Amino acid sequence: MKSHRPPAARIEIPRRQFLQFLGVGAAVSLSGLQAACTLLQPVDDGNPLARKVSREWEKIYHDQYRYDSSFDWVCSPNDTHACRIRAYVRNGIVVRSGATYDYQKYADLYGNHASINWNPRQCAKGYTFHRVLYGPYRLRHPIVRKGWKAWAEAGFPELTAENKDKFLFTHRGEDKFLFTHRGDDEFIQI
């Protein structure tokens, strides 16, 4: 495909003149840099530890990881692992989470213990999962599909081809969603 733009005009400048412009530009830059560097002379204030130093920042620094309580839970955000995580709560809000470092203390039904080498066990999803709890896209209400609710109210009959169509199991994505209103049994369509 041909371009319909006119050819760009070339500026012809001799090499000697280009080098002169380059030298002038470098000299101006260096003189400006030298002037700026004269303003950055060291200040001799004597002993900086002799004067009073504000320590207010230390309180903020030390309090950033303070928590009121903690609890352990199992994190499984869309993966097959089930990591035990300790959530730290401050003012009723989970502010951070961390590993529990006690996998060696727990056993399965047969008495098999994990080794201490499993510590710490937590992925990046787990470390940031508490943000999902308070994020703008979190689920705020129990949600159920309208077809599933009708199937449940019918007593969960066997899903034959006819019932799959009746309860909209074959029309996923076209079904309406319902959520409970204020925790009671009243469903509202969204």
**Which of these three, 134, 156, 177, is where a domain ends?**
134
Would you state the pLDDT for residue 89? 93
Instruction: Specify whether 93 is located in the same domain as 154.
Output: no
pLDDT on residue 126: 78
- Residues 67 and 116 occupy one common structural domain: yes
Residue at 25 is within a domain = no
List pLDDT tens digits, range 64-123.
889 999 999 888 766 667 788 899 999 998 888 888 888 888 888 898 888 888 787 778
| Amino acid at position 190, single letter | I
Domain count, the chain: 2
Q: What is the reported pLDDT for 29?
A: 80
pLDDT of residue 1: 54
Give the DSSP H or E segment for 186. none
Return the pLDDT at 121: 78
Nearest Cα residue to 126 out of 178, 45, 72? 72
**Residue 40 placed within a domain:** no
Domain that holds residue 166: 143-189
Helices (H), 39-145: 56-63, 124-134
**102 lies in some domain:** yes
Position 47 scores a pLDDT of 78
- C-alpha–C-alpha distance, residues 114 and 34, integer Å: 65
Asked whether residue 19 is domain-assigned, the answer is no
Do 177 and 129 belong together in one domain?
no
Distances (CA, A) of 167 to 113, 171, 179: 46, 9, 18
pLDDT tens across 1-47, in order?
A: 565 666 667 778 888 888 888 888 888 887 777 777 777 777 777 77
Let me know if residue 76 belongs to a domain.
Answer: yes
- Condensed to tens digits (0 to 9), the pLDDT of residues 130-186 reads 888 888 877 777 788 888 888 988 999 998 999 998 888 888 788 888 876 655 566
